[in-house]
Amino acid sequence: STQSTWVLDAAQGFGFLPIDLEEIGADAIVFAGHKTLYSTFGAAGFILRNGMDLEVFLSGGNGVKSTNLQMPKTGTERYEVGSLDTPAIAGLQASLGWLKTVDVRTHETELMHYLIEGLEDIPEMTVYK
């Protein structure tokens, strides 16, 4: 039998489409905050299935704990090289809060109709539907 790791690139749909890590059977899901999580650039992440661990193959500096001379060997901090992008993290947190209050599919459909109606009001514009 072969051993492989299955990684789902959910950058285009995370937050917009329902994704269940266990149901899909992926070992990891990666996502971008600025796409369908509606955050700013600079925040992204990954989710690992329980028991999944990533081997560090390249590292440098001392990570987020500047008082240490080496990168942390365990925990999530071992994946956090350098200074955190605090504004992007705050933006992602705010967008996640907003996502809890809105039906995104309905919101985007309303925005699409608003755009089409606005474009149809421009005499020089032809809208093909």
pTM: 0.71
Mean pLDDT confidence for 71-96: 84
64 or 44, higher pLDDT: 44
Q: How confident is the model at residue 71 (pLDDT cuts 50, 70, 90)?
A: confident
- What is the pLDDT at residue 62? 65
Residue 115 CB burial class (10 angstroms; 0-12, 13-18, ≥19): exposed
Q: What residues contact 36, with CB distance under 8 A and at least 6 apart?
A: 12, 13, 14, 15, 16, 17, 104
Q: What residues contact 68, with CB distance under 8 A and at least 6 apart?
A: 62
Torsion of CA 46, 41, 13, 97, to 10 degrees: 90
Compute the mean pLDDT over every residue in the chain, rounded to the nearest whole number: 86
Measured CA to CA, the distance from residue 28 to residue 6 in angstroms comes to 7
Mean pLDDT confidence for 58-70: 68
- What is the pLDDT at residue 122? 96
Q: How many residues does the chain have?
A: 129
Look up residue 7 and give its amino acid: V
